[in-house]
Amino acid sequence: MSTDKQFENMVAVVTGAGNGIGRACAIAYAREGANVAMFDREADALGESAELVKAEGVRALPVVGDMTKLEEVEAAFAGTRKELGPVDLLVNNIGQTARENYSEFWQAKPETLQFVINVSLMTTLMCSRQVVEDMRERKRGKIVSISSDSAMNGDIGTVDYASAKSGVLGFTRALARELGPFKINVNAICPGPTNTRAMQRIPRDAYERAKNAIPLGELCEPEDIANAAVFLSSDKSRFITGQTLMVNGGRVFY
């Protein structure tokens, strides 16, 4: 009997699914009937996410690995295809700022720049590469990549992160052109400051400044991003590709 769930019997992959936006996306896709493979470096957090996904009555496949390493990326997707089948939906969520190594560009260390580029851009390219061949052959699929409104705003001290996340947007547009003839949609979401674990760890004055810069007067919630990702992965977005959806409470207009 049909349950009218949008992603029933589909396979979704969500990277960085241990916490925050990734966890919210994994749960949201599960609620729509998808079996969900979840990748993250943190085993305990990933296990918690998997239990929440299973509670929605679908299959959950937690995969612990470092998605900056090609061999681990390849193994994660090979395991997903073996256990769940070919991937229908991909959410590229992995990414982070320099955090404690934050600095203005004139002080930035090359190794920090390389790390942020690897985590926030190269993971998106490498994970997408693992699904596009199957999607082309099947002439179906949705890829949603999580960028950041820092790519548009150019926040001080985030040159590396803004560069990487801008790269995600360029990648999205170019890949959408390549895959359009195969009926595959490729889009990006730009969250603003979001109420995640990383945001909760910053100094209180910085937290308040971020919140006060948002016209709607509050931080984005991970579920807000998950709702946008579900829309961009659904049939309702069938004629939307190569686009950037800002989900930031009006902090940056684009």
Query: Cβ–Cβ contacts within 10 Å for residue 90, how many?
Result: 27
Whether the pLDDT of residue 1 is over 60: the answer is: no
| Tokens (6 digits) for 184 | 């595959």
pLDDT for 98: 58
Angle in degrees, CA 202, 208, 210, rounded to 5 = 80
What pLDDT was estimated at residue 202?
A: 67
User: What's the token pair of residue 166?
Assistant: 């801008």
Each residue's pLDDT tens digit, 88-103:
999 999 988 856 667 7
Which residues contact residue 219 at a Cβ distance below 8 angstroms, ignoring those fewer than 6 apart? 192, 193, 194, 195, 199, 210, 211, 249
140 Cβ contact list (under 8 Å, min separation 6): 88, 183, 184
- Give the model's pLDDT for residue 65: 96
Distance of CA 176 to the CA centre of its chain: 16
Q: Is 254 a catalytic residue?
A: no
What does the block give as tokens for 235? 């049939």
Token output for 19: 């916490």
Question: What is the pTM (predicted TM-score) of this model?
Answer: 0.94
DSSP classification of residue 219 = P
Could you say which architecture CATH assigns to the domain 11-244?
Answer: 3-Layer(aba) Sandwich (3.40)
Report the pLDDT value the prediction gives residue 90, as an integer from 0 to 100: 98
101, 112 Cβ separation under 8 angstroms = yes
Return the pLDDT at 211: 85
Catalytically annotated residue among 29, 161, 207, 254 = 161
Mean of the per-residue pLDDT values for the chain? 93
Domain boundaries, the chain: 11-244
Among 251, 253, 155, 249, smallest CA distance to 202 is for: 155
Q: What pLDDT score does 99 carry?
A: 66
Residue 60 in this model has a pLDDT that exceeds 50: yes
Q: Give strand ranges (E) for 66-195.
A: 89-92, 142-146, 185-191
Which single residue is written with the structure tokens 């990549």? 145
